[in-house]
Structures are given as structure tokens and as C-alpha cells.
Amino acid sequence: MWFCCLLAVLGSGASSDGMVQTESDLASVTDPVDFESEIQPLLATHCLACHGPSRRESNYRLDVKQIAMQGGDFGEPPIVPGRSGESPLVAYISGEDPDLVMPPSEQGSPMTPEQIDLVRRWIDQGAKWPEHLAGHDREEISTDHWAFQPIRHVEPPQVRDWPEAVFPLTNPIDRFVAKRLQEESLEPSPPADRTTLIRRIFLDLHGLQPDLSTVQAYQQAQPGSYSQWVDQLLAHPHYGERWARHWLDVVRFGESTGFEVNRDRPNAFYYRDYVIDSLNQDKSYRDFVREQLAGDILGVDEATGFLVGGPNDIVKSPDINLTLMQRQDELADYVHTTSASFLALTVACARCHNHKFDAILQKDYYALQAVFAGVRHGERPLKNQVPETVRQSLSARGAELAASQTKFESYREHAQPPGDEPANLLESVNAKRNTDRFTARPARFVRFTIERTNGAEPCLDELEVFAAGTDRNIALASEGGVASSSGNYANNPKHQLPHIHDGLYGNDKSWISDTTEGGWVQIEFPEEIMVDRVDWGRDRTAVYSDRLAIGYRIALSLDGQEWQVASSSRQRKPFLVNGKEPEDAFVVRLEPELASQAREEYQRLVGLRKQVAELQASTPTGYVGLFGPAEKIKRLHRGDPLEPREEIIPDTLTVMGSLGLSGETPEAERRLKLADWLVDEANPLTARVIVNRVWHYHFGAGLVDTPSDFGVNGARPTHPELLDWLAWQFMEHGWSLKWLHRQILNSSTYRQSSAPRAEANQVDADGRLLWRFPPRRLEAEAIRDCVLQLSGKLNPKAGGPGFLLFEVDHENVHHYFPLKEYTDEHFRRMIYMTKIRQEQDEVFGVFDCPDGGQTIPRRNRSTTALQALNLLNSRFMLQQASFLADRLQNEAGDRVKDQVRLAFELAYSRQPAQDELDESVALIELHGLEAFCRALLNSNEFLFLS
């Protein structure tokens, strides 16, 4: 057991605050305690315990000052000079916590009460050390782990006595691979045949099969044309669609919130399209990294979808424990995704203590939290998606709006102070009942228009219009009144238009408009009549006061076309919202002429605001994160939000340098500085990590078999010199991913046959030394896409909102039910499927699809009965088999042998052997063409990349 008492003392925050010192104890403090003769033997004997395999014993000697003062894995210094009651060391040597006693019983006897008292006295006297035992500063952390060492500029090795006729060494990659094969006495495999190779690069780069004409063209092409085919495939948009899926796995991208409500994010797709476009454009990986962390200040708003692509709990709570923990989980997600994706380090393991294996301090984890302390989940406008014409209009209207606002505010200085309103003003509106009286005049129509409310769409509980000089409500339906409106609140039986004049009071018998401003309701009378009063209210029973019309006007008309205002909210005292009057309330306190001018300007101001709002509404918004002032970040003892310690400034890993920031550094600058540090060529990890990821997706395993863990617990590279050569050259070639693809795909290593060999299997069964191309089953997305391609139903539509394979019950908690029927929209490539967390496509989800809940650097490759059953019997596959059967009949005619030959050409890019032809014909004659198509879609040759 290596996590023992020393780590407990170094990491504990427990104290002896409750211990009471007597007068004699206090007096004894004055007796000097000598460190070397009295204290050092005790610390060395009782407080030096065993340590973890990645630790150096000298790092945990409590008789060395700097170590004792800085603390250990939990960051808490075990000794607080001058305060023994606050020193965790005293608590542990005295056995206050029975679970953390120093030393453990199996490692020695505890200190005696006299010895404990001696240590306490020494601490209270200031815990003084002699200079020669001051030690070193543990913050100067270092490591000799391979991944933290600078990338080396290595030359490809010389290889002698090599069968170059079988495995040419024209590509530097091949020299590294050949050298390792020689060391293990392994022979390479011969090149794959042309049909296999063209299928391989199509499936690898595009995730689709080559059509028959393409295969034939390559078979007839001149020797040496292979590299041109690689270039053509890399230049095609299908490349970005295929390889974006790999990156979206790594960064845990999903299009719903996850957790219990799991609501969809309908505009999260902008980040997915950004990744696809970036790959197709061969955007420098340096820019790709920088934009994902700081795209908002680099002019690529959708790129920061990287930061908020993960799940987040939107159900908040008044419980401070839950609220703080939710925020910590959000920050942890940003830190983990960034460090795992770009650095392949498990930095999140330092959330509660120093990393147990890697050179990562707990302080480092919170320093990275401080970089992201201003990031929040949410949507924001995508400024770079705005058309130029709209941008120009926004600029012009914005300038007019600013000028109008200034002019309107200039009238305020001429107004009387609040409380000096004219005496004839009515009381401000109230929710229960308001009466507007005016000079009697004839009307056939009365319209009530709501200009603004105290919140949400306005609600009216009965609109009453009275015949002049009477209490007769002529608006009632029973009096022949006919109600109409600009629009009604939808799908709520409590709030219907007929309720506006049914004579019944209360919220359940009211009308609500469908808009917050500008909506109206009117009553038409059977004939023209004199009116002089209107009564109205929000809730005549005085239960509800929300949705109140605080700005309104009442107009009369004889023909429904020409209107005259009879009364309005301008004749009332201002309504205070949260103790404040509306911005135009001062107008009633102006002289009449100025009041008229101010009202005219206010109407212009309102109109300009509406224009600007409409222009802004035309700007697309994406779920790409919100950025605001960075909150203060403190180190949390054992990761507990309720136990904050010292403030931490934004920074990166201590072992790898510093960003040179302060606690006052602006939020956006923090993220940009981190991004620049990540892609600095001196950073030993970033280039190595992405090179390894690309290698992993080409060969099924990386040179480092743990693509997101380059730490001590991760795998060591099988070809370390090759990894460094690729990383160095990758940076030298502008961080171009397409350059990297070309290097790998043009190598003899990649072009080998995938056929197994018994003698090689005995040495390297997993093929990690690359004596053959490693065959593997296609991922779920490629299988589905190839099925649609084969059936002739693949929809080539690219980009934009995705398709959903579920019916959604949009309650507070969203529920998802698999579709029963599929249409052309559902036959797009699977990269465009809306990725709902915690839910899987009922057919292909079982093929080890990640759900976006966490970063997935490497998918599992399971083989289950459910996979076979889904491919054979699911509704989707039965439908596609039927489509394929129709295609074979339409293109090959009614001759069964011709149908079989075409099927083999489409599915396998080859003609069937005679026995395959005979067996296929027999199957069709016995069970029908659809059964044959189902068998074809389930065959290994169709489902495997080999």
C-alpha cells in the first residue's frame, strides 16, 4: 500500500482547532526546542513513510523545510509555523483521525505524548529549520517521462539487406518500420492488389465504397499513379465528412444537454460543419487549435463550439452545494476536454490532489480552470455568418439608433422631477381593474392595443365597453358584440378569445395575445352607438398580476379602418417596474410642446430598435458558448467547492512552463494565450498527439496505443523515433493534416496486404509492428453510409441542421422514440445525424457508437449477437435490402446471374467466383432477391476495411 500516512499528512486539511492549551502548555512554549537534536529525529523516524511508484522519496521528507511548508498531494502544508492547532501534522501524530494516523501501525510505533508535545511546542515557536535543511522548492517540478521531452529532429535509419522489391523504402516512414521489423526478425507483407488498395483508401478517407468505374480506372492506370488518387480523394468533400467524425469523438461533441432533461441543441451543428470545412480546406492544425479555444476573437465564432460541445446540467437548484458542484463539473469538462484532446494528458485527475502518476500539480488543474473561468454554456450570434448587406444595414441603423437615443434623452433634463406630474393624470395601471373615461362619441368598433407589458405576452380578463351615460356593457357576446384580435396565445384552453367578453372573471376565463408588444383585441357592435367608458384588467379576481398591459391605447372607429385614440396609458401616472418608471415616463412632466416632440422622437426610437432587433434576428445563433468576466478561481481542498483555499491565477502545467498571466488578465486573452502555448513548436505534446491520432485512424492503433493518455499510465510508443520524425516534419510542413495523410498513405507500410501469416502472428499477433496492414470492421457511420450507397439511396446533402432518427416528446424532460419510417432526409450521411446524448440509433448504435457523454479517443470493437440481428432484421435494413433488390433488377434486368454479378461489383468491387455465383443464384431462387441482398449487406467483405 503506497497511499499511506505521509500522503494523508501532506494532503489533509484537518486541524486541531478544537484542542485547548493550558497555561502550563503556553508557558512551555518559551523553552527553546532544538530542531536537529530534538525534532529532526522524530520527523525522520515517525513521519517519513512509503511513497508511490512515480514519486521520489526525497520529495516527501518532512524534515526538509520546503517540502513540509508546501504540502503534498492535497496541497495543504502539514506544518503552519506559529500555529500548532492549525497544523495537520499535529492532528495526525496525535491520532485525532483514526483513519489517518501517523505513522501507520504496520510501519512503527506512534509518538509518545511527550514527543507530540515537543513537536507542538516547536511549531508554536515558529518551526525553525537550519539553512542546510531548507531543501528545494517542490514547485520546480520536473520529469524524465518520454512525452514531456522535446521533440527530436531524427533522421530515418539506414536499413540493409531489405527486400525492397516487396517493400520499397522510398518513404521515410518505411525505414523506421523496416528497422523495427528487422529487430524482431519479421518480414513485411507484399503489396495489396489494386482492387483491395483502391477500396482501402476510399473507405479510409471517405468512408464510402469506390464505384465500379473508379475501380476499373485505377486497375488500368499507369504504375505510379497511386499518389494522384490519394490527392484526388483528399481534395473531395467526402474526406472532411469522414474524418470529422473521428475528431467529434475525441471532443465529446453532442447535440443535446444530457442529464435527466436531455434537451436538444438545434443549432449546435455549426461546430460540426466547422470541423468538416476546416479539414476539407486543410486548415493548419495550429489555426484549428487556436480557433477552437478563441474563435470569438479570431473571427470564427462557430469554432468555440468545441468548448461547450459536452453535456451540461441545466436543472439548477437553490442548494448552494449543488450549484457550486455543477459549475465545477462544467469547468472540469473544459479542462479535461482541452488537455485530453490536444495534450493527451489526464489533467482532470489532479482535481482533488496532485496527479498520482504524472508531473501535474493540483494547482495546475485550477490554473487551467482559471483560463476557462469566463466560459459558459449557451448560444450567441455568429457574426461571421452575417451577409455583408445585413452587416451594413446593422451598422447604419445602429448609428441612427444611437443618435435617436441621445436626442430623446436630451428632453429629460427639461422635465419636472418625479412626483410633479399634472394633477389630471389617472392613477397608474393595476392588475385588477382600470377605468378609462372619455368624452362620449359614436363608435362601431373599439380596439385595445398593448404597447408593452410588465413581462411576457399580455393577458386581459374581460374588456368592457359602456354605452354613454349608462352601466350597460355593450361589449358582451350576449349583447351582440363580436371579438377579434391580432393573434391569440396558442393551445391553452384557459386563455381564449371568446373569454374577452363572456362576462366571466378570473385567470381561467381570460385572453392572452400571441405577442408581447403591438398585439390588439377589439369588439365590433351590431350597430353604431355612443360610448364614453372602457373598463379592463389583468385578473378581476386580483390573484395574478403578471402579463399586465402597462402601455396601451384605446381607439374608436366607425368603419374599422379609420381610428381615433380615445384614451391611453399616457393619461396615467407611470407604472413602476421593479421600483423604476418606464424610460418615457418623464414625458408627462414636460411642457406640452416639448412633450409632443419627445413623444415623436420616442416613437422613432422604438421603431429603430425594432429594425435593429429584426436585423439581429436574421443573424444566426449557434450553441458555441458565452464569454463573460472570469470568476475568481480558488484551489479546492480535495475538490470540494465548500472548501476553497488560495486564489489561483490562470496558467498551464508547471512542468511545461508558464503563460505569464495575472489574475487581472482579460478572459479572452487567457484562452488565446493558452491556445498559442499549445501550438508553440516548443510544446513537446501537441504535434505528437495529433500525429498519433491520425496514425491511429489509418491503422486502427496509434504508435502510442492510448491516444489520449501520453502519461505514465499510458502506453509507450512502439516506434518512438518515427513518432518524433512525423511530429517534427508535420510542424515543418505548416501543421498540414493533408500532408500527414499523404505521407502515411503513400508509404509501403500502408500499402501492404492485410493477409495473416502464421509465423508473424506468433511474434506480433496484434500487428503493432506493422508487418501487415491491420484489417478491421468499419465503424457504424461508414457501415450505414455504405449500405445507403449500395442501395442507391444515399442523400448527398451536406451541412446545415441534422436529421433526427427519433420522434421527440418535448416535455420538460425530452423523451426520444426511434422512428418507424424513414424518408430521403434520413438517408443523408450519418455525420449529419443529430447526436442525442444517452440515446442511440436503434440499428447502428450497437456498433460501439459513442453518445457524446465523454471524450472517446478510441472506439471499442465489440462483436455481439445484437449487431448481427440488427443488420439482418431491422426495419431500416429490410427497407434498404428492398431498395437494393429494386436497383439490381432495374440495372441488371431479370437474369439472376446478371443480378448477382452486379451485386458483387457494387458491394465488393469484383466479380463473383464460380462457386459464389452458383450459391447466390441458388439462394435467390429459393428465398428471393431481397434475402440475397440482406446476406450481402451482412458479409464481412462488405463490412471490413482490409
Query: What's the pLDDT tens digit per position in 789-811?
Result: 999 999 999 999 999 999 999 88
Mean pLDDT, residues 134-140: 50
The domains of the chain are located at 2-133, 284-380+627-678, 434-589, 876-945
Whole-number pLDDT of residue 810? 87
Handedness of CA 618, 255, 369, 295 (dihedral sign): negative
Whole-number pLDDT of residue 419? 64
Question: What is 650-709 written as a DSSP string?
Answer: S---GGG------TTS-HHHHHHHHHHHHT-TT-SSHHHHHHHHHHHHHHSS-SSS-TT-
CA dihedral 425, 431, 433, 434 (to 10 degrees): 20
Alpha-carbon distance of 569 to 240, in angstroms, equals 59
Whole-number pLDDT of residue 423? 73
Whole-number pLDDT of residue 141? 74
Does the pLDDT at position 337 exceed 70? Answer: yes
Query: Which segment of 195-199, 382-386, 414-418, 547-551 scores lowest on mean pLDDT?
Result: 414-418
Alpha-carbon distance of 869 to 871, in angstroms, equals 6
What are the pLDDT digits (tens) for 677-712? 999 999 999 999 999 999 999 999 999 999 999 999
Q: Does domain 876-945 have CATH number 3.30.450.20?
A: no
In 3D, which of 768, 775, 656 has the Cα closest to residue 716? Answer: 768
- Provide φ and ψ at 435, rounded to 5°: -120, 125
Question: What is the β-pairing status of strands 549-557 and 626-627?
Answer: unpaired
- Provide φ and ψ at 828, rounded to 5°: -75, 170
Whole-number pLDDT of residue 294? 98
Whole-number pLDDT of residue 765? 94
Q: How many residues does the chain have?
A: 946
Does the pLDDT at position 524 exceed 70? Answer: yes
Query: What confidence tier does 736 reach under pLDDT thresholds 50, 70, 90?
Result: very high
What are the pLDDT digits (tens) for 304-318? 999 999 999 999 888
Mean pLDDT, residues 267-274: 98
Does the pLDDT at position 214 exceed 70? Answer: yes
Does the pLDDT at position 786 exceed 70? Answer: yes
Does the pLDDT at position 301 exceed 60? Answer: yes
Whole-number pLDDT of residue 905? 95
Mean pLDDT, residues 178-206: 97
Mean pLDDT, residues 601-626: 90
Does the pLDDT at position 59 exceed 60? Answer: no
Q: Could you identify the residue written with the cell 495534450?
A: 343
- Cβ neighbours of 37 (radius 10 Å): 8
In 3D, which of 248, 254, 252, 247 has the Cα closest to residue 816? Answer: 254
Whole-number pLDDT of residue 184? 95
Does the pLDDT at position 20 exceed 80? Answer: no
Query: What confidence tier does 49 reach under pLDDT thresholds 50, 70, 90?
Result: very low
DSSP three-state, residue 462: coil
CB 381, CB 620: distance < 8 Å: yes
What are the pLDDT digits (tens) for 429-459? 999 999 999 999 999 999 999 988 988 899 9
Cα atoms in the Cβ-side hemisphere of radius 13 Å centred on 522: 23
What are the pLDDT digits (tens) for 566-584? 999 988 888 887 777 788 8
Query: What confidence tier does 62 reach under pLDDT thresholds 50, 70, 90?
Result: low
Mean pLDDT, residues 29-51: 71
Whole-number pLDDT of residue 9? 37
Mean pLDDT, residues 416-420: 71
Whole-number pLDDT of residue 773? 97
Mean pLDDT, residues 78-100: 80
Whole-number pLDDT of residue 903? 96
Q: What percent of the chain has pLDDT over 70?
A: 92
Q: Note the pTM of the prediction, 2 decimals.
A: 0.77
Q: What percent of the chain has pLDDT over 90?
A: 74
Whole-number pLDDT of residue 386? 83
What are the pLDDT digits (tens) for 638-650? 999 999 999 999 9
Cα of 810 vs its chain's centroid, Å: 22
In 3D, which of 76, 96, 90 has the Cα closest to residue 127? Answer: 90
Mean pLDDT, residues 846-852: 92
